């Protein structure tokens, strides 16, 4: 491919200059060697972030929570339990229908009465004779407990 470049100098005569240089002639400009196909902006294709095929291990509930029964055996379930002071235990559940808590197994021991906060529902527990309690969730989402021997 051949490109012709024309350089023009404005006529200074129009501006009142008597010594205006003559208009230059056109001359060919040598082609640069072909550079191959025109370059497009480089984009790096990245694969979308995917989770590994193996499921991530969730933390197990503490030893004082047992007999966890899911709403649906195929559903993802989760139960997180922690102490929140001398006389309060906070429990968050996902996909859980029932579980057993053993208040005697909490170290250091909790004071009585104990406030259990299960999914933000406060439940006050008084009895020392039955530290193991089964908690079940109603269809309306309310938790209730009964002693387990």
* pLDDT of 41 higher than 60: no
Enumerate the domain spans of the chain.
65-147
114/18: higher pLDDT:
114
Q: What is the pTM of this model?
A: 0.59
pLDDT in tens, 77-107: 999 999 998 899 999 999 999 999 998 888 8
Q: Where are the beta strands (DSSP E) in the chain?
A: 3-5, 27-29, 65-70, 78-83, 88-94, 96-102, 114-118, 121-125, 132-137, 143-147
């Amino acid at each position: 491919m051949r490109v012709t470049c024309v350089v023009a100098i404005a006529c200074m005569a129009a501006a009142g200059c008597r010594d205006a240089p003559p208009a230059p002639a056109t001359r060919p400009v040598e082609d640069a060697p072909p550079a191959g196909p025109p370059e497009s902006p480089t984009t790096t294709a990245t694969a979308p972030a995917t989770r590994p095929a193996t499921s991530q291990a969730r933390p197990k509930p503490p030893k004082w929570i047992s007999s966890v029964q899911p709403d649906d055996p195929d559903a993802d379930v989760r139960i997180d339990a922690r102490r929140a002071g001398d006389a309060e235990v906070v429990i968050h559940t996902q996909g859980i229908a029932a579980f057993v808590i053993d208040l005697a197994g909490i170290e250091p021991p909790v004071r009585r009465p104990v406030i259990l906060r299960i999914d933000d529902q406060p439940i006050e527990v008084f009895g020392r004779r039955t530290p193991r309690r089964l908690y079940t969730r109603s269809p309306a989402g309310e938790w209730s407990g009964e002693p387990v021997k």
